[in-house]
Chain A
């Protein structure tokens, strides 16, 4: 369970031009729920995700995961619970390392990286099997540098990497924004499959209203750093696309 208690974040705080990104926001997310976050640009969606991942520190409030206060933990310490898929497909992988080496690091997300060589035959087979599931023919490219693959391929692998180690929470910040429609669909289908299979708690930021309606069991609309709408299960399933459009008027 994720609990955000009265969190606030202001950028450029001590300047003449402060930007309030999160305004006394409180939110509780049950385990295994799939929350879609929508909202116009600058409404605080990404800040919300970054606050949870720890890449930014909140000015006020508390953040708890399973009752543990993580407010003061750094991003690399929160990786124990949180896996991320970024908007830019290049952000989730290291281009000069091979696919295999990227997966090795991902498989140690919650563990220390010691002086062992862990990319041997056994691990290679494991990665090949996992990648085979993608059906993209990438299982034969695992010794290639990640940078030689396309954005879509890298995003698919990033998703897979998220569940190479024990994961509770998956944060996806517009994971398909940089991809073509066909690849986007593929990525989201894959995400859906992984989320179901691994029983993840998910926060999914999107600008695609169709996806917002289609995926998840709860939808949150953010506006000026606060939550403006919060619909779960039934009310979300009854939601129509033109209603959602009206949110943005």
Chain B
């Protein structure tokens, strides 16, 4: 984030620090919604995510440096993730491989694909027009960043919540909820799972698209352990949904986005109280463990 010149006061610094966290949370919202779809809607633990996130980033960085237009890059990033997800889906449903293993296989293969795509392990986007610097609607880049990062998840939220209310969306939800029933009602659940994983990983790749442009580079390792971010966000969202007895699916999706932001704020807080960034992944793992086990401990009482 750029400063307006001069020395930032402590307050401004503090604000910036947490604002950055919120913006990152919004950037990862799409990934969190993707995980919500694979894990909550379809009941499939999908960790293709690590690979498809980087794939989205790699496609974005490579195409941006080749001066492709942003809408084209956006679509191609989504499609690249969708292809990765459908591969996991096909391996899982057609070759009858355990979903977790199918995801690991595709994720592993994607590492090479991403490296080949990028041609090196890191592509910086210095001096390249991104979604945050294109046009001149805003006085400075940071207000455009805020605008884009609110608009982007909002549009995705709108599309997904509408989709889940259509007949097709109901069939998707029933596939994860009661497979026997929905097959008896004429739905090819294998096909549905493949489409679901394609959608989930397409959304994940869109997060890769955004995050690459936020941080200004794509890196071959940017996706490592990213699936846990999505899982954590979904879990936090779930705690909201359970606490406030939210049954409406579009509000549930909102809680997942809120979860993504909250997760980032908590990480920012951890850093601000002086936790060594070296231990950040450990903090993440412990935090997700706590979030996951809270409902279980409550139930045991």
Contact = CB atoms under 8 A, between A and B. Distances in A.
B171 A105 contact: yes
Query: Which residue of B165, B170, B177 has the most chain A CB atoms within 10 A of its CB atom?
Result: B170
A79 B185 contact: yes
A167 B174 CA distance: 21
A145 interface: yes
Contact of B178 (A55, A79, A94, A119): A94
Nearest to A95: B177
Given A91-B181, A104-B170, A119 B186 contact: no
Interface string B20-49: 000000000000000000000000000000
B173 interface: yes
Interface stretch (A1-9, A17-25, A80-88, A125-133): A80-88
B184 A115 contact: no
Most chain A beta-carbon neighbours within 10 Å: one of B177, B181, B189: B181
Interface size class of A (residues with CB under 8 A): 35 or more
A145 B183 contact: no
Contact of B182 (A55, A82, A94, A111): A94
A93 B181 contact: yes
Given A86-B180, A91-B178, A145-B247, A97 B170 contact: yes
A94 B186 contact: no
Q: Give the residue among A55, A74, A76, A97 with the most B Cβ atoms within 10 A.
A: A76
A110 interface: yes
B80 to A, nearest CB: 23
Nearest to B174: A94
B166 interface: yes
Given A76-B186, A109-B186, A113-B187, A91 B165 contact: no
B168 A114 contact: yes
A116 B184 CA distance: 21
A114 B247 CA distance: 23
A54 B165 CA distance: 29
A110 B185 CA distance: 7
Contacts of B162: 117
Interface string A186-214: 00000000000000000000000000000
A106 interface: yes
Contacts of A91: 178, 180-181
Contacts of B166: 113-118
A101 B168 CA distance: 11
B167 interface: yes
A118 B163 CA distance: 12
Nearest to B184: A84
A106 B170 CA distance: 11
Given A94-B174, A145-B247, A105 B184 contact: no
A53 interface: yes
B177 A105 contact: no
B188 interface: yes
Q: Describe B's contact surface by its main secondary structure.
A: helix
B143 to A, nearest CB: 35
Contacts of A77: 186
B167 A118 contact: yes
Contacts of A118: 166-167
A69 interface: no
Interface in B184-209: 184-189
B35 to A, nearest CB: 17
B167 A93 contact: no
A174 interface: no
A115 B162 CA distance: 9
B285 to A, nearest CB: 29
A109 B165 CA distance: 17
Best-buried of A108, A116, A119 by chain B (most CB within 10 Å):
A108
A108 B184 contact: no
A115 B163 contact: yes
B163 A74 contact: no
Given A104-B170, A108-B167, A116-B167, A80 B178 contact: no
Contacts of A95: 177-178
A82 B167 CA distance: 20
A217 interface: no
Contacts of A108: 167, 185-186
A212 to B, nearest CB: 24
A116 B170 CA distance: 10
Given A93-B178, A95-B177, A97-B177, A83 B184 contact: yes
Given A86-B180, A94-B178, A97-B173, A106 B167 contact: no
Contacts of B170: 97, 101, 104-105, 113, 119
Nearest to A80: B186
The 4 closest A-B pairs by CB, nearest first: A79-B186, A113-B167, A113-B171, A94-B177
23 contacts: A55-B180, A55-B183, A76-B187, A79-B185, A84-B184, A91-B178, A91-B181, A92-B184, A94-B174, A94-B178, A94-B181, A97-B177, A101-B170, A104-B167, A105-B170, A105-B171, A105-B182, A108-B167, A109-B185, A110-B186, A113-B166, A113-B171, A114-B166
